[in-house]
Amino acid sequence: MQTSDPRSCVWNATAIAAPDTPPLPGDTEADVCVIGGGFTGLSAALHAAEAGVRTVLLEAAAPGFGASGRNNGQVIPAYVRHNPDDIVALYGPELGERMNAWVAGSADLVFELIRRHRIECDAVQNGWLQPAHTLGRMRLVLNKYEQWMRRGAPVELIEDRDEVAAMTGSPIYHGAWLHRAGGHIQPLSFARGLASAAMAAGAAVHARSPAVEIRRNGDRWQVLTPRGAVLADSVILATNAYTDRLWPGLRQSIVPVRSFHVSTVPLADDVARTILPGGQGLSDTRQALWAFRLDRCNRLVTTATPLFTVGARGVLRRSTATRLRIAFPQIGDVALECIWDGKVAMTVDRLPRYHELAPALYAGLGYSGRGIAIGTAMGKLMAERAIGRLNEELPVPVSPVQALPMHDLLVPLSRTMVLFYRWKDARG
Ligand SMILES: Cc1cc2nc3c(=O)[nH]c(=O)nc-3n(C[C@H](O)[C@H](O)[C@H](O)COP(=O)(O)OP(=O)(O)OC[C@H]3O[C@@H](n4cnc5c(N)ncnc54)[C@H](O)[C@@H]3O)c2cc1C
C-alpha cells in the first residue's frame, strides 16, 4: 500500500463510521456550493446550513480524504512563524488585532463544535505545548508566550528544565510555552462528524463528486461534476493542498508539500503514563518539525521528514526509531505500525490566504500545517461571507491570488529545504 493511500493512515483504524454521502446524481440548485470536504469545506457547509440556506458540498473522494483525515490532530490556535505583534506590523492595529483574536479563538471553535454536535473524536482540550529544542530557541518561546499573554490568551511559560521534562516525558527540551486552549482530536472522526452535523443541519454532502469546472451563469455560478451540475448563488473553494486547475492560478499560489507521519504500536501503560502525562499535544521549535501526541490507545503519533520520498518507508522506519530513542529513551525499541503521508499547503510566509476570486466566489487555503483550528475558522468565515452575515470588519485580509514563479520547481525544491532546516535546527 502506498503511503499516500488513506488506508495506510492510523486514523482509519479508529475512526467513527463515515456517513452515507452518495455522489451528486444530477443537476441541482443551491444558495451555497462548497467544493472540498476537509475541515474548511465541512465547517463552511455546516455553518451555511445552520443559517438556513440551501447548501451542497462536493468532494472529489470522501469527507476527510485530504489532509483533514491524515494529520497529527493537534488543535493549535497560533501562527506557524509569526507572533501577534508581527501581524499588527503587517496589517495595522485594527485588522491585525482582529486577526489575532480570530486565530486565538479558533481552537475554542473546534471544541465548541465537537461539544455542540456531540462528535465522537477523542477530543482533549488540555493544551498545546511548544518546547524549545535548543537554549537559543527559548527566545522564540518567550516572545510567543509574552505576546499572546499580553492579549489575554490562556498561556503559560515553563522555564524550568525539570518541569518541561516532566510535562513532556522527554529530557531534550529547555523550556516551553503552553497554550491552554489547544488540544488534540482524532482528525478523521472530526471530519466525518462535521459531515454528519452538516447533513443533519440540511446540507447535501456528495462524495466522489469532483468539481471539474466553475462557470458564470447569469448572476449565479454553475459548478460542473461528471454526473450533474450545481447552480448556486455563491461558491466556496476549500481544496487547499489538493487544489487542481479549477480556478486559474490558485494551484500555483501554494506549495503542496508531502508531509509524512508515523505511528507506533500501543505503548505499554507504564511507558505511556510518562509521555505527555497532562494529555497535551507537542510540536517543538524545529523547522523540520518534531511533533508528538498519544492517541486513545496510547500509540505515539509523530512527524517524519524524509529527504527523498522514493523508498521513504524504509528510511522513515530507521530515522523514526532513532528519533524516538533520543526524544523518549524510556520507550526502548518500539514497533512502528503505520506510515502515511498527506499534502500540506505551504505559503511563502506561512500565513493563511483568504481570496474573493470573483463576485460570490470565495477561497481559503494555505494554512502551512496549522489548518485544524484555522481551517475550521476559515470555513465559518467564508460561510458567513457567502450568506451576507459578514460584510465588514473581516478578521483576515482579502489577498489577491499570486501564482508563485517557477511553481513546478518549488515542490521538489521544498524537499531539499529539509536539509537547510535541519542545519538551522542544529544551530538553534
Ligand atoms: C501529515 C499532516 C499532518 C498535519 N498535522 C497538523 C496538525 O497536527 N495540526 C494542524 O492544525 N494541522 C495539521 N496539518 C494540516 C491540516 O491537516 C490541514 O491544514 C487541514 O486539514 C486543511 O483542511 P482543508 O479542508 O482546507 O483541506 P483538505 O482536508 O486537504 O481537504 C481538501 C479536499 O478537497 C478535495 N478536492 C480537491 N479538489 C477537488 C475538486 N475539484 N472537487 C471536489 N473536491 C476536491 C480533496 O479531495 C480534499 O478532500 C497536517 C497536515 C498533514 C498532511
Helix residue ranges per DSSP H, 64-222:
84-91, 93-104, 106-116, 138-150, 161-168, 187-200
For residue 378, the ligand 1 atom closest to its alpha carbon is 26
Compute, in angstroms, the gap from residue 162 CA to the centroid of ligand 1: 37
Compute, in angstroms, the gap from residue 65 CA to the centroid of ligand 1: 8
The predicted structure's pLDDT at residue 79: 98
Number of domains in the chain: 1
- The residue whose C-alpha atom lies closest to atom 21 belonging to ligand 1 is 68
pLDDT digits (tens, 9 = 90+) for 110-123: 999 999 999 999 99
Question: Do the domain assignments include residue 420?
Answer: no
Question: Do the domain assignments include residue 66?
Answer: yes
**Residue ranges making up the domain that contains 388:** 6-412
Q: Half-sphere exposure of 140 toward its Cβ, with a 13 Å CA cutoff?
A: 19
The predicted structure's pLDDT at residue 239: 98
The predicted structure's pLDDT at residue 228: 97
- The residue whose C-alpha atom lies closest to atom 35 belonging to ligand 1 is 36
pLDDT digits (tens, 9 = 90+) for 249-306: 999 999 999 999 999 999 999 999 999 999 999 999 998 889 999 999 999 999 987 7
CATH at 387:
3.50.50.60
pLDDT digits (tens, 9 = 90+) for 319-340: 899 999 999 999 999 999 999 9
Question: Do the domain assignments include residue 418?
Answer: no
> From the CB of 138, is ligand 1 less than 6 Å away?
no
Question: Do the domain assignments include residue 424?
Answer: no
> From the CB of 100, is ligand 1 less than 6 Å away?
no
Question: Do the domain assignments include residue 288?
Answer: yes
Single-letter code of the amino acid located at 165: A
Cell of 77: 490556535
At residue 423, does pLDDT exceed 80?
A: no
Question: Do the domain assignments include residue 261?
Answer: yes
Asked whether the CA dihedral 140, 142, 144, 146 is positive or negative, the reply is: negative
At residue 355, does pLDDT exceed 70?
A: yes
Question: Do the domain assignments include residue 423?
Answer: no
Give me the percent of the chain exceeding a pLDDT of 90. 86
> From the CB of 367, is ligand 1 less than 6 Å away?
yes
Q: Distance of CA 426 to CAs 134, 306, 317, 419, Å?
A: 8, 16, 22, 11
Distance CA 47, CA 45 (A): 6
> From the CB of 364, is ligand 1 less than 6 Å away?
no
**How would you write 135-181 as a 3-class SS string?**
CCCHHHHHHHHHHHHHCCCCEEEECCHHHHHHHHCCCCCCCEEEECC
The predicted structure's pLDDT at residue 309: 67
pTM of the model: 0.96
Q: Distance of CA 262 to CAs 242, 286, 300, 306, 347, Å?
A: 21, 18, 8, 12, 24
Question: Do the domain assignments include residue 426?
Answer: no
Q: What's the rounded mean pLDDT across residues 197-214? A: 98
The predicted structure's pLDDT at residue 273: 97
At residue 418, does pLDDT exceed 80?
A: no
